[in-house]
A and B are shown apart, each in its own frame.
Chain A
Amino acid sequence: MRAALRIAAKDLRQRVRDRSAFLLAVVLPLAMAFIYGSLFGPSAEPRAFEYGVVDLDRGPIAGAFVADVLEPLAADGVIRIRDVATADEAERLADRGSIDAAFVLPAGFSAASLGAAPARIQVLGDIDAPIGTEVARSIAGAFLAELTSVRVAVAAVAHHGDGRPVDRDRLAQLAERARNIATPVVLQNVTASTKVLGLKAYFAAGMAIFFLFFTVQFGVASLLEERSNGTLGRLLAAPIPAGAVLAGKLLASLALGVASMAVLVTAAAALMGIRWGDPVGLALLVLSAVLAATGVAALVASVARTQEQAGSWNSVIAVTLAMLGGVMFQTSQLGGVVAAIGLATPHAWFLRGLGELAAGGGARAVLPAVAAMLGFAVVAGGIAVVRLRKAVAP
């Protein structure tokens, strides 16, 4: 172990003197994160949707929609609501972009809801805010779907079909139960959006893990440099255990990775005001990301013949994984096959884990992401170690 530490320390000293390593490990990721953050600006950060509410009904069901659906969402910070007097005014506000959409509760809405007539909520949307409009439609649709369910249930209880009078107490109980369950499912869906990192945090984290894959290669891939300049022979001739050389290289990669990520995370917090969340969870994510990146770099080093070749292959792999993993654009938002493929990369899991922390989760919340990245590290690193041990043994 002592020999491995000596080799790792020597490698780190070399890398510290190599300005390109510092550039890749710290300067470029920070610069890129700043550029992306500035490019999109604060307006690109997730914000609450602005909705108007035109209550022309003033009945109990319209009141329930506002009090039990919209106001809780507003309390969670997902939406902001304001009263608007008329549908025309709401339309004007939407056209001007002052609101994303408006809910128009027409006169007679409550009566229709309690009777047999169709109940409708009109959604007026800003044409330039399609997402906000779609979310408004979902909220209204979910409420109406719940309402319909309750109406069917009430009708089923009220009509015995045998001419007996309706049991009013039972109806009251049913109404109370319906009131309790009539929480639109959209509430949970919308809340989930808060698990997505803010854009600044997203780009800072994305750039950090993107460049991490370049940074760690300075450790393990230097095995190829040692081979080409003859120092590997000298290390193998030294009275040290056979595995010390490889262990030293892997340690150097891990140290470089952890150091660069620590600097980036701290700098991003200090300079860009990013709050990463639970520190233990963050440490677990960083460590497992570094292990995964080191595993990949070691695998590349085990199949490449020269350091230049390893550098080229590593770059291709780093860019490909970053693209698939959602560093360049948020593939997780696309869903389907693209999002599924993204989960085959450490990058996607790293970002997903940070999202959990941003949503208030602790170390436990990031365990799936940690497990996925460790799996990546074990598979790639395991193959690499088997191959590299042959290269550094007599």
Chain B
Amino acid sequence: MVGVPAPQATATPPGVATTPVLSCVGLRKAYGSLVAVDGLSFQIAPGETYGLLGPNGAGKTTCISMVAGILWPDAGRVEIRGQPMGKGGVAVKRRIGYVPQEVAVYPDLTGRENLRFFAGLYGLTGSPASTRVAEVLDLIGLRERAGDRVAKYSGGMRRRLNIGIGLLHRPDLLILDEPTVGVDPQSRNAILASIEALSVHGMAVLYTTHYMEEAQRLCDRVGIIDKGRLIAEGTPRELTASVGERDRVRLTATGDIDAGARTLRTIAAVRQATPRPDGIDVLVDDARTALQRILDVAAGAGLRIRSVAVEEPDLEAVFLHLTGKSLRD
């Protein structure tokens, strides 16, 4: 593995002294000669949002199917709060909320009926179930439409219901398998905001996606998976720093561009300053701390700054660096 070394399978995630909510150790799953997941190990702490980032076919869904107890691994083990996921795994499964990639709801039932049905499977019945269903309907913003059949819901509403079902029994770990695939930008933003709120309540989240911007926004830590293997793990910042990617400050300016570039190179944080016909590209370790200094020095060199654009390296760049291919390949 390259990048930030992943924690050892038995170690506690950074900054956490309690038992991990999820611990995967050496997970392996093959379909014939195709190895979908190959020796995958990672842990998630309480309240942590962990992103499993990788292109389609990398093994993300196979991995979380094993975590959810839907698939049985060929090798390795899954532990939830220290309890192993057995083949029956009834008690362990109560601690998990699973939101599959598909909108896994019944269109000919109402939103409320869908929630009541799944609440019953998780042991919630009677008035506690009614109360919790009402809470979840509020949480996902579907209270007004709870009595309508899901077939009449918009795509975004179905997605929200899909997530709401996973939250019904207040799981320790919520597994979200690409929950924003095929969702319009507005609904997507609402979904991401609601997921951000979950960690506030101490719920651990395992989030798979191939959208690097979602991983960057939501995840405390990210594991990058390719061909069934975890090839890097860490915070988004750690990952981008580990592969030598730097922030890029694009100055659009008039004046003596070449002289300005030479002057900017004297700043300690600046790694490179490249003149362009209409300005200068500046590579810097951390644009947030160095930006003011860059602007001051440029002004001092007689440049008239027209615009400034800051581009931070992202996980896409990390993935490209590690595998030589794009996340969306």
| Cβ of B207 under 8 Å from chain A | no
Candidates B71, B103, B121, B122; contact of A230 at CB < 8 Å: B103
Contact A10 B104, CB 8 Å, known A236-B69, A237-B68, A394-B72: no
User: Which residues from 109 to 145 on chain B have a C-beta closer than 8 Å to any C-beta of chain A?
Assistant: 109, 113, 117-118, 120-123
Q: Known contacts being A230-B104, A240-B90, is A394 close to B96, with CB within 8 Å?
A: no
Please pick, from A231, A234, A240, A394, the residue contacting B71 in the complex, using a CB distance under 8 A.
A394
| Known contacts A233-B100, A234-B104; is-contact A241 B117 (Cβ 8 Å) | no
Within the assembled complex, what's the spacing in Å between the Cα atoms of A150 and B118?
A: 81
Complex partner residue of A233 from B87, B89, B104, B122, CB under 8 angstroms? B104
Chain B interface residue number, banded: 20 to 34
Neighbouring B residues of A161 by C-beta, 8 Å: none
**Residues in B whose Cβ lies below 8 Å from that of A241:** 88, 90
Complex-state Cα separation, A23 to B67, whole angstroms: 43
Partner of A239 from B65, B100, B123 at Cβ < 8 Å: B123
Whether the Cβ atoms of B70 and A394 lie closer than 8 Å is yes
Check if B102 sits within 8 Å of A230, measured CB to CB. yes
Q: Which of B207-257 contact A (CB under 8 A)?
A: none
Provide the residues of chain B in CB contact with A98, threshold 8 Å: none
Nearest B residue to A238 via CB reads B121
Query: B87 — which chain A residues lie within 8 A by C-beta?
Result: 242, 393-394
How distant is B203 from chain A, measured CB to nearest CB, in Å?
16
Q: Smallest CB-CB separation from A230: which chain B residue?
A: B102
Complex formed: what's the CA distance from A239 to B122 in Å? Answer: 6
A231-B93 contact given A238-B121, A239-B123, CB 8 Å threshold:
no
B91 adjacent to chain A (CB < 8 Å): yes
Query: Contacts A17-B108, A18-B108, A394-B87 given: A230-B101 contact, CB under 8 Å?
Result: yes
A6 CA to B68 CA, complexed, in Å: 21
| Complex Cα gap A121–B61 (Å) | 87
Give bound CA distance, A234 to B109, whole Å: 16
A43→B89 CA distance, assembly (Å): 65
Does A229 lie at the interface of the complex (its beta carbon under 8 Å from any beta carbon of B)? yes
Q: Compute how far the CA of A230 lies from the CA of B100 in the bound complex, rounded to whole angstroms.
A: 7
A359 within 8 A of B: no
Proximity bits, B58-98, A CB within 8 Å = 1, else 0: 00000001001111100000000000000111111110101
Q: Are A239 and B91 in contact (CB under 8 A)?
A: yes
Assess the A237–B69 pair: CB atoms within 8 A.
yes
- Complex: how many Å from CA A22 to CA B105? 23
Point out the residue from A231, A236, A393 that lies within 8 Å of B105, measured CB to CB. Answer: A231
Residues of B within 8 A of A364 (CB): none
A6 vs B101: C-alpha distance in the bound complex, in angstroms? 24
Question: Interface size of A by Cβ–Cβ distance < 8 Å?
Answer: 22
A234 to B169, CA, bound (A): 14
Question: In the complex the two chains form, is B104's CB within 8 Å of A231's CB?
Answer: yes
Interface string of A208-241 (1 = CB under 8 A from B): 0000000000000000000001110111111111
B106 touches A231 (CB 8 A): yes
User: In the bound complex, how far is the Cα of B93 from the Cα of A6, in angstroms?
Assistant: 18
User: Is B327 close to A, CB under 8 A?
Assistant: no
Determine whether the beta carbon of A238 is less than 8 Å from that of B122.
yes
Residues of chain A contacted by B205 (CB below 8 angstroms):
none
- Compute how far the CA of A238 lies from the CA of B101 in the bound complex, rounded to whole angstroms: 16
Instruction: Judge whether A13 and B113 touch: CB under 8 Å.
Output: yes
Q: Determine if B109 and A239 form an interchain contact, defined as CB atoms under 8 angstroms apart.
A: no
**B176 within 8 Å of A (CB atoms):** no
C-alpha gap A234/B91 in the complex (Å): 16
- A14 engages B93 (CB within 8 Å): no
CB of B165 within 8 A of chain A?
yes
Are B118 and A234 in contact, CB atoms less than 8 angstroms apart? yes
Q: Contacts A13-B113, A239-B90 hold; do A234 and B100 have CB atoms under 8 A apart? A: yes
**Are B121 and A239 in contact, with the CB atoms below 8 A?**
yes
Bound state CA distance, A393 and B122, in angstroms? 18
Q: List 26 A-B contacts (CB under 8 A).
A: A6-B120, A10-B106, A10-B109, A10-B117, A13-B109, A14-B108, A229-B102, A229-B103, A230-B100, A230-B102, A230-B103, A231-B105, A233-B65, A233-B68, A233-B102, A234-B118, A237-B70, A237-B93, A237-B98, A238-B93, A238-B118, A239-B123, A240-B90, A242-B88, A393-B87, A394-B70
Q: Known pairs A10-B109, A234-B98, A237-B93; list 12 more (Cβ under 8 Å).
A: A6-B117, A14-B109, A17-B108, A229-B102, A229-B103, A229-B104, A230-B101, A231-B104, A234-B118, A234-B165, A238-B121, A394-B89
Closest 9 CB pairs of A and B: A230-B102, A230-B104, A237-B98, A239-B93, A238-B121, A394-B72, A237-B68, A239-B90, A234-B104
